[in-house]
Structure 1
Amino acid sequence: MTTARLPLFPLNAVLFPGLVLPLNVFEERYRAMMRELLKTDADEPRRFAVVAIRDGHEIAPTAAGMPDPTSTSVERGPADGFGPDLIQTFHRVGCIADAAKIRERPDGSFEVLATGTTRAKLLSVDASGPYLTAELDELDEEPGEESGALAEGVLRAFRSYQKRLAGASERSLTTGANLPDDPSVVSYLVAAAAVLDIPSKQRLLQAPDTATRLREELTLLRSETAVIRHLPSLPAADLTRPPIHPN
């Protein structure tokens, strides 16, 4: 287990290893983080940690992330809007991200494209600098028992779930010929693509091993598919396009 100290980017979302994270960075505290990451050579990983914010803990007026065009710009400190006890504000398992693309716009904001790499456990949070930093333990991914067979079952269940959700003609993660062979990759792809709330996604992220995550996904997918079956027709949804997260 490796311990690292990294910039911390809290989000109202869960990032999984292997998944792409587009970010629209406009707050000064996160701009400062990106400027610091840009000091790292482009050939080296530009690493930062992403953690999901617990429900009800982000209390600032702009908590949803979108700037208010009717108000004057007020710079927030690194911990502003997150409540008095930072370590309790965030879920304790997050994901380390590598910012492969950081592009500064003329107005000083940033367009960032990062990829989740490794799960990590949050040990402490430091608000003494211009942005939050955290000490984290990187978590190994254990396969668990029967992960291969479980992955096959999850992919079948996901096909059925997505057809019910988006319509049989909708392009699916799993309709291509090049399906992932690695059960852990399957578990993270399905966790990211399924339409679940943040607590459910967080439980999947922090599962102790791949097999446990796949078993929970199988239960969730079967349950969600049964619910959708009894609902009126739903509009088609593109589950393969990641959302852009404003800070």
Structure 2
Amino acid sequence: MARITIFPLPGAVLYPGLQLPLHIFEPRYRAMVSDALARDRLIGMIQPQRAEEGAPLYSIGCLGRIGDVEALEDGRFNIVLEGEQRFRIVNELDVTTPFRQVEGELLEEDEDEVLAPVERASFEREARRFADAQGYAVDWDQVTRLDDYSLINGVSQIAPFDPAAKQALLEAPGIAARCELLVQLMQFFGRTSDDDKDGATLQ
């Protein structure tokens, strides 16, 4: 178990091996960054279930290590979190700090897991279709050179899905399961875009 300082931010999902730039301006989160820099530079990114103060948290987040940091004169920070490992909340701690802390179980990641060739091909085919439908310009030569782990986590982090869908991707147990869900989400959101449905979300 680990004691984890958490940053509950709606819509912000960090994955192992990826980076998340953040602008820190609220006093409690400036205190959170200062505390992390003085200790282990670790912050747990996790989504609240509702966008309100003290809202319940989803059970799984990602531990990030502060890499680049710019301390501004007025006390704000620009930081880059580097994703290290997913964690599952065991319980939230009763603390006196202005920021929330939890006891968490660190989840093992298999960075060597690979997709079957048919899974990779199916994913790239659906990704091309989705990108074309959304009007995204993608360097597909660069994409084909990415390993499965970087590709699937990278697309999961940047894809324009709603917070519930992004949380489901983070919770997927492994690259193959995350890839399968990504394909389903691209098909789902692609269809709702084509049909011009308002407010379509995956719950």
Normalising by structure 1, report the TM-score.
Answer: 0.70
Q: CA deviation at 1:141?
A: 2.9
Contact 2:143 2:151 in 1 (8 A): no
2:151 is matched with which residue? Answer: 186
Residues 41-80 of structure 1 mapped to structure 2, 5 A cutoff: 46-56=41-51, 58=52
Partner of 2:71: 104
Number of the residue aligned with 1:176: 142
Farther-moved stretch of structure 1 (222-231 vs 149-158): 222-231
Q: 1:141 to 1:177 in 2, by over 3 A?
A: closer
Give how far 1:201 is off.
0.8
> 1:159 corresponds to which residue?
128
**What's 1:206 paired with?**
171
Query: Which residue in the other structure is 1:71 paired with?
Result: none
1:95–1:120 Cα contact (<8 Å) kept: yes
**CA separation in 2, counterparts of 1:217 and 1:177?**
16
Residue in 1 that maps onto 2:85: 118
| Closer, same or farther: CA 209–178 of 1 in aligned 2, 3 Å | closer
2:116 is matched with which residue?
Answer: 148
| 1:175 to 1:229, Cα distance in 2 relative to 1, 3 A | farther
2:54 counterpart letter in structure 1: F
Partner-residue secondary structure (3-state), 1:98: strand
So what's the TM-score if we normalise by structure 2?
0.83
Instruction: Report the CA distance shift for 1:127/1:24 in structure 2 as closer, same or farther (over 3 A).
Output: farther
Question: What's the C-alpha RMSD, in Å, of the aligned pairs?
Answer: 2.4
Question: 1:120 Cα deviation (Å)?
Answer: 0.8
Contact 2:7 2:43 in 1 (8 A): yes
Q: Which of these two proteins has the greater Rg computed from alpha carbons?
A: 1
Alignment match, 1:215 = 180
Quote the sequence identity (%). Answer: 26
1:184 deviation in Å?
2.8
Deviation of the 1:146 alpha carbon: 7.5
Structure showing the higher helix proportion among its residues:
2
Match of 2:199 in 1: none
Output aligned runs, 1:88-103, within 5 Å: 89-103=56-70
Provide the C-alpha distance between the structure 1 equivalents of 2:89 and 2:149, rounded to a whole number of angstroms.
Answer: 21
Q: Is the 8 A contact 2:156 2:182 kept in 1?
A: yes
8 Å CA contact 1:141, 1:210 repeated in 2: no
Q: How much does 1:91 deviate? A: 0.4
1:94 is displaced (CA, Å) by 0.3
For the structure 1 residues 174 and 139, does the alpha-carbon distance in structure 2 shift closer, same or farther, using more than 3 Å as the test? farther
Q: Deviations over 1:182-215 (max 9, x none)?
A: x232221121222110001111110122211111
Structure-2 change in CA distance of 1:177 and 1:147 (3 Å): closer
Change (3 A) 1:176 1:209: closer
Residue number in structure 1 paired with 2:101: 133
Query: Is the deviation greater in 21-30 or in 218-227?
Result: 218-227
User: Partners of 1:154 and 1:223 in 2: how far apart?
Assistant: 14
Alignment-derived partner of residue 82 in structure 1:
54
Separation of aligned partners in 2, 1:146 and 1:179 = 14
Q: Which runs of 5+ in 2 are unaligned?
A: 197-203
For each residue in 1:34-82, what CA deviation from the matched residue of structure 2 results, as whole angstroms up to 9, or x when unmatched?
A: 1122224xxxx621101101035x1xxxxxxxxxxxxxxxxxxxxxx21
Number of residue pairs matched? 193
- Report the more deviating stretch, 198-207 or 124-133: 124-133
